[in-house]
Amino acid sequence: MKKVGIPRALLYYKFSEMWTTFFKELGTEAVVSPKTTKQIKFDSVKNAPDEDCYSTKLYFGHVLALKDQVDYLFIPRFGSDHHTYVGCPKFIGLAEVLRSQIPDLPEIIMPHYNKAKSGHRKIAFFRKAYKVGLKFTKNPIKIIRAIIKAVKAQKNHYKTILIDEETLHKWERSETILNEPPRYVENERQLKIALVGHSYVLNDPYSALGIRTSLQEHGVDFITSEQMPRNLIDKQMDKLDYDLYFLYEREILGAIMHFMESKTVDGIIHLMIFSCGPDSIAGEVAARLSKRDPIVPLLQLVFDELTAEAGMKTRIEAFIDMLRRSEDEQTLLLTTKVHI
C-alpha cells in the first residue's frame, strides 16, 4: 500500500477531513506528521528560509519529519476558495520552494486550485482531484466516490465547527460552552474571551504555546474565530470602507469587530505570527479600530520561534487579572455563571 504524507501544518488544520478521507478512500495510507515538537521546530528553523513566517517555517519541519516514511507528499498549491478573496501567496509557492530547497524529497503531489485569480470552479476542482486519484488507482468509480466522500466529510467538518447565530447568542448569554469547559476558580467571576487567529495557530498547541489550556486553567470560557458564523463576519466586513481581500484575515478581523461592537465578551486575544503578511494589515486595522472604541480590551500577541513561554504566560495572566478587576458597567452586565 502506498503511503501519502500530509504535513500537519498550515492548511491541514482547515482541510484535514477532506484530505485524509480522500486518500483513505483511494486505498492509500494517509500518514499525517506528528504534532509539533521541539525537534520539529529545531529542524524547521534550521532548514527554512530566514524571512518566512513562523508557521511556514514549521511546515518545513513537518515535511522533514515525514520525508523518509512516505512515497508521496501531498502539498496542494491552494490559492483561495472564494471568487474574489485570496489566501496567502505562500500556500501557492510552498510546494515548489520545498522541492528546490530540500533535494531528496519523495514525489510531491501538488494540485493547483485558485478560485479567485485562475477562475477555477467546481469542474476544475473535480478534474484536479481526479488527476490526483489517477496516481493511485485506474478505477474511475473509486476515484469519483472518493471525491464525493471527501467533499462530504469536509462539509460535515464545517458543520461541526461553525456555529449558527443562535448558538452564538446562547454562548453570549452564558447558556452553553463551545470549547473545553473552563476550570472553576473560587470567588472569581468567570471570564469570557474571544480567541482570534489563524486556524493553524489556534489548533497547534506548540506554536501558540498552549494558550487554550492556559485559558482553561484560568477559568476562562472562550470562543475561537474559526467558529464564528460566516454571515456575521460578512456583515461586519461590509462596515469597512474598503473590502479586506484576505480570505482568512476576514474571519479574524470580522470576529474582532463583531465583539467590539456587541460587547458581549470581557476581552479579545489576537494571536499573530511574526512576519505574517496579512496579519500585519488586519492586526493594524484591529488595533486602530480598538483604539477608537476601547470598551472591550484587545491583546495582540505576536509569536515566533524565539517567543519564550514564561513571558507569554505572564502577559496572558496580566491580561486576565486586568479583566477581572475591571468594574465597568459593561462588564458587570455580562452574566457570569455557567452550569456544567
Partner 1 sequence: MPLGFPYLGTFTHVMESIARGMNRDDLILPNEPTYRTKQLGSRHASEFVCTPFKIILGSLLEVIERGATQVIGTVHVDFCRLGYYAPLWKLILEDLGYTGDIICLNWFDKPDFFRNFKKLTGDLNAIQAFQAFRIGWIKNRYFDLVEKLLYSYGATEISKGSAKAVADKLNRTIVHTMGERNVRKLPRLIKETFKEEVEVDEKADPLKVIIMGELYAVIEPAINLYVMRKLNDLGVVAYTPITFRRWIDLGYRLNFFKRKQHDIAIKKAKPYLGHRLGGKARESIGCTIYYKEKGWDGLIHLYPFTCMPEIISRSILPQVSKDYDMPVLSLVVDEHTGEAGFQTRVEAFVDLLERKRNENDKNKVK
Least Cβ distance, residue 100 to partner 1 (angstroms):
4
For partner 1, the closer of residues 51 and 186 by Cβ is 51
Binding pattern to partner 1, positions 233-252, x when CB under 8 A? -------xxx-xx-------
Specify whether the backbone of 271 is left (phi greater than 0), alpha (psi in -120 to 50) or beta: beta
Q: Which one, 87 or 267, has the nearer CB to partner 1?
A: 87
- 274 is a contact residue toward partner 1 (CB under 8 A): yes
Helix H or strand E segment including 108: strand 107-109
DSSP 216-270: HHTTEEEEEGGGS-HHHHHHHHTTSSS---BHHHHHHHHHHHHHHHH--SSEEEE
SS3 32: strand
Which of 284, 309, 317, 328 touches partner 1 by CB under 8 A? 284
Q: How far is the CB of 289 from partner 1 (least distance, A)?
A: 8
Give just the sign of the alpha carbon dihedral 121, 32, 196, 335.
positive
How many residues of this chain interact with partner 1, rule: CB under 8 A? 44
Burial class (CB in 10 A: 0-12, 13-18, 19+), 249: buried
| Residue from 197, 219, 254, 283 binding partner 1 (CB under 8 A) | 283
- Distance separating alpha carbons of residues 62 and 144, to the nearest angstrom: 30
Residue 254 near partner 1 by CB under 8 A: no
In the complex with partner 1, the residue whose CB is nearer, 125 or 326, is 125
Of the candidate residues 37, 69, 118, 231, the single one contacting partner 1 (CB under 8 A): 118
**Which amino acid is residue 116, in one-letter code?**
A
Q: Which amino acid is at 16?
A: S
Q: Give which of 126, 86, 95 is closest to 6, Cα–Cα.
A: 95
Task: State the DSSP H helix or E strand holding residue 40, giving kind and residue range, or none if neither.
Answer: helix 38-47
Instruction: Say whether residue 330 binds partner 1 (CB under 8 A).
Output: no
Residue from 20, 33, 114, 199 that binds partner 1 (CB under 8 A)? 114
Among 94, 69, 68, residue whose Cα is nearest residue 79? 94
Applying CB under 8 A, the span of 68-76, 80-88, 217-225, 255-263 interacting with partner 1 comes to: 80-88
Query: Which residue type occupies 256?
Result: I
In angstroms, what is the minimal distance from the CB of 221 to partner 1?
Answer: 30
Candidate residues 281, 307, 313, 326; the one interacting with partner 1 per rule CB under 8 A: 281
Query: Does residue number 125 form part of the binding site for partner 1 (CB under 8 A)?
Result: no
Cell numbers representing residue 108 in the block: 510531491
List 4, 10, 86, 153, residue binding partner 1 (CB under 8 A): 86
Nearer to partner 1, 166 or 241 (CB): 241
Sign of the dihedral defined by the CA atoms of residues 336, 223, 221, 338, in that order = positive
90 counts as binding partner 1 under rule CB under 8 A: yes
52 binds partner 1 (CB under 8 A): yes
- Give the nearer residue to partner 1 in terms of CB position, either 129 or 320: 129
Least separation in angstroms between CB 181 and partner 1: 35
Query: Comparing C-alpha atoms, which of 336, 247, 257 is closest to residue 292?
Result: 257
Q: Is 213 among the residues that bind partner 1 (CB under 8 A)?
A: no
Binding site for partner 1 (CB under 8 A): 49, 51-52, 77, 79, 84-90, 92-93, 96-97, 100-101, 112, 114, 116-118, 240-242, 244-245, 274-278, 280-281, 283-285, 287-289, 291-292, 302
